[in-house]
Amino acid sequence: MVARERVNGQVATTVSVRDRGLLYGDGLFETVRVVAGVAPLWSRHMARLTEGCARLGLPAPDTATLAAELQAVTDGISAAVVRITLSRGEGARGYAPPADVQPTRVVTAYPMPALDPRLTSDGVRVRICDLRLAEQPRLAGIKHLNRLEQVLARAEWNDPEIAEGLLLDAAGRVVCATMANLFAVIDGMLVTPALERCGVAGVARAEVLATRPGAQVRDVRLDELLVASELFLTSSVRGILPVQAVGDKVFRPGPVTRALQQHWRTLGFSLEQA
């Protein structure tokens, strides 16, 4: 049986109790969708990981090494989700980072579950979370290991009919969903919230922005979001998901959403697996 876990290139399932990723969330991660051994958004994942390393002062990993480890852990899986975790490695007690950083690199693969085709055709229901995201521009956009805000937000509901929760900042601006970015068509213009203060800049979001260069990246108020003609979520794993309802407000998938779903297919992704 192929081992689906690698720690610093070796088959393993544990890390040190002194690892700063465990102790302080001192690190980054990427969640990569792989189809038949190919990760269509690989270059975008590596660009974000490199940017995150620069922000945190971490040595950037060798992308060729990561690619080889991705191939190793996904061998025999036609559709997989790979998590790449990079921490600052071990260190002495206390917050001060070690002078000689030896990062810990973990690469793990999981079979990708099927997605109900009704969700991609009809859309998903979402709610507005009570939790408000804190602002920290130094960390905004990158996918750092501390996801406590998302954990607490996701704990707010257990209704299986609600697929996601929308997150606002302290000023009431819409930021993102707990595990996805958000786009809206407002007055005929494709818009996505700015992420300079908080939130994660997803690679699927980057792909949409590259495909639609005229899209606006700006602050979005909740009231204007609720009168949008289309809403959809983007995720490197789940793809392009129309939003069917936000609370009691109902939406219908529109032409922009459908066109981007077709683009997702051209990248090599199936809409029925996410």
What is the pLDDT at residue 271?
61
Name the pTM for this structure: 0.95
Are the CB atoms for 256 and 231 separated by under 8 Å? no
The secondary element (H helix, E strand) that includes residue 240 is: strand 239-246
d(CA 19, CA 220) in angstroms, rounded, equals 38
d(CA 28, CA 84) in angstroms, rounded, equals 8
What is the pLDDT at residue 270?
76
In terms of DSSP H, where are the helices of 57-137?
63-74, 117-121
CA angle 25, 89, 237 (to 5 degrees): 55
Residue 44 backbone dihedrals phi, psi, to 5 degrees: -70, -40
Closest residue by Cα to residue 243 from 65, 121, 68, 156: 121
Give the pLDDT of the chain (274 residues) as one tens digit per residue: 567 999 999 999 999 999 999 999 999 999 999 999 999 999 999 999 999 999 999 999 999 999 999 999 999 999 999 999 999 999 999 999 999 999 999 999 999 988 888 999 999 999 999 999 999 999 999 999 999 999 999 999 999 999 999 999 999 999 999 999 999 999 999 999 999 999 999 999 999 999 999 999 999 999 999 999 999 999 999 999 999 999 999 999 999 999 999 999 999 987 655 4
Q: In this structure, what token pair is assigned to residue 223?
A: 């009231």
75-79: list long-range contacts, CB under 8 Å, 24+ apart. 75/2, 75/37, 76/2, 77/34, 77/109, 77/111, 78/35, 78/36, 79/34, 79/35, 79/36, 79/111, 79/112, 79/270, 79/273
Residue 74 backbone dihedrals phi, psi, to 5 degrees: -100, 5
Are the CB atoms for 230 and 254 separated by under 8 Å? yes
Chain-centre distance for alpha carbon 212: 19
SS3 content of the chain, % helix, strand, coil (to 5): 25, 35, 40
Q: In this structure, what token pair is assigned to residue 94?
A: 């206390």
d(CA 36, CA 34) in angstroms, rounded, equals 7
d(CA 185, CA 273) in angstroms, rounded, equals 25
216-218 and 189-193 strand pairing? parallel
